[in-house]
Structure 1
Amino acid sequence: MNLIASPFASIESTVIWLLILFSVATWGLFLLKAGQFTRLKVQDRKFHKQFWAASSLDSAAPLTQSNPGAAARVAAAGYAAIQVHEGSASDLSQAINHQDRLERALRQQIVRERRSLESGLAVLASIGSTSPFIGLFGTVWGIMSALKGISAAGSASLETVAGPIGASLVATGVGIAVAVPAVLVYNYFLRRLKLTAADLDDFAHDFYSLAQKSQFRVLTHPAAHKSAQPGTPRNVKEAS
């Protein structure tokens, strides 16, 4: 034990604790992302069921206010781009090409949803790619410490060499043990992200087709306009 009692040993233990922290972060992100994707799947499934049960595109508009989820937010962005309020047919805002505005609004909202779902994945990718090298770094410093102790002891017997060097290899093993789950978790959620984005793209295409049948106009009543007014300027600004 005295052979590794040097400043190098403290560096090796620091590496081990850093890898343990990475492991905790990996499993914490796994639980958070699993809850996020599961909740989003339930919300979107409920919204899709109610949306496609509606009698028309106009009558489905209130569903975006009463339902959370990515699909509901995409639909809300679409409604904000093509809504026409009663008594405002002559407004300058109605002269904008609603078809182009709808396409931009749907695309921009899908991008925002992707960014929300991508949060945390970069951390998982970084942990998976750097943990083996951090563990190897700890092993190198551990071997240097062991060799320095062996030189000071003046003995190169198997008992003297095997213990310190074997202990230094623990860092590499821990690094690999941390990296493998991080890579698997990252790949799993990356696939779920792609599937969710594909579902949103499909829904956006369906919404676009429904809006096309109504000539890219959705009539909303003043009461509905007031309830949706706080979010309208942001969507219009982003679409322009």
Structure 2
Amino acid sequence: MNWRKILNQESAQGFAHFIGQSDAVGKTLLLILLGMSIVSWTIIVIKGLALVLRNRRSERFLSLFWNASSLDAVAGEIATHGARDPFSHLISHAMHAQAHHARYGAAKLEEAGTAGDFVTRTIKKVLDEEMTQMENGLTVLATVGSTAPFVGLFGTVWGVYHALVAIGLSGAGTLDKVAGPVGEALIMTGVGLAVAIPAVMGYNGLTRANRVILSKLDAFAYEVHTFVAMGSPMSAAGAASAKPAASIRPLAA
């Protein structure tokens, strides 16, 4: 058996050879998959780093919040360093809404009702904004994860079709003439899966992390509503809420 001949035949096949003999449709599909991969990895990296930074800032602010002597001290900290996490963003808007309603009253339709009603609407608006911001880009990951395998499969079907047509025109239907081109066409399916799997894993991981922080934010919103709108003393409410309790319920509509 001539091993050198076999090695030369194997080296003549492969990804580079597949790209070289692909037509415009095959190369376009490969470029689409490459673009999907770049976009999905960019979103995963950016959203992942933002998630880590958001969690660190949130823990730092919550520690400061529960150890503050009053809401004025919290407001001073936010005025100095800014609202850089969802929790400080929520308390900042809630205190601003309460102060605005106390000063101007119900001057507009969106301010109708009591100060507690206005603060409640403001809190729910901030929660919606934070949810929208956290979910931004996740639709792209879901789309890539669900469509990339089918794009790769279409590329495989297209490659197999042209390989079989070329083999039929050449009149050589032996196994060594069929297996190589058909095997190369399967590369597109592998590429599609390689693009889809990280996108699906990134989507699931980011979705779960967002769900956890939104759950904590929703529980914190109830405490903020108690402090700001109902005027509960900081010491009494803070001591009861320093640790998550089973009695905490979501913010009422």
Structure 2: segments with no counterpart, 5+ residues: 1-11, 13-17, 233-253
Report the secondary structure of 2:208's partner residue: helix
Please say if 1:41 is aligned against 2:55. yes
TM-superposed deviation, 1:9: 2.9
Matches within 5 A, 1:1-240: 9-65=23-79, 66-67=81-82, 68-83=84-99, 88=103, 93=107, 96-214=113-231
Question: CA separation in 2, counterparts of 1:5 and 1:101?
Answer: 62
Distance 1:134 1:84, change over 3 A: closer
Contact 2:95/2:228 (CA < 8 Å) preserved in 1?
no
Question: CA separation in 2, counterparts of 1:122 and 1:5?
Answer: 30
Question: CA separation in 2, counterparts of 1:38 and 1:207?
Answer: 24
Report the secondary structure of 2:70's partner residue: coil
Report the secondary structure of 2:124's partner residue: helix
TM-superposed deviation, 1:20: 2.1
Cα-Cα RMSD: 2.7
Contact 1:131/1:178 (CA < 8 Å) preserved in 2?
yes
Q: Which has the higher contact order (CA 8 A, sep 6+)?
A: 1
Aligned length: 213
Report the secondary structure of 1:83's partner residue: helix
Give the TM-score normalised by structure 1. 0.80
Distance 1:17 1:214, change over 3 A: same
TM-superposed deviation, 1:13: 2.5
Contact 2:119/2:229 (CA < 8 Å) preserved in 1?
no
Distance 1:159 1:81, change over 3 A: same
Distance 1:192 1:132, change over 3 A: same
TM-superposed deviation, 1:131: 0.4
TM-superposed deviation, 1:199: 1.3
Contact 1:81/1:102 (CA < 8 Å) preserved in 2?
yes
Report the secondary structure of 2:133's partner residue: helix
Report the secondary structure of 2:75's partner residue: coil
Question: CA separation in 2, counterparts of 1:182 and 1:168?
Answer: 23
Report the secondary structure of 2:139's partner residue: helix
Contact 1:134/1:175 (CA < 8 Å) preserved in 2?
yes
Structure 1: segments with no counterpart, 5+ residues: 216-240
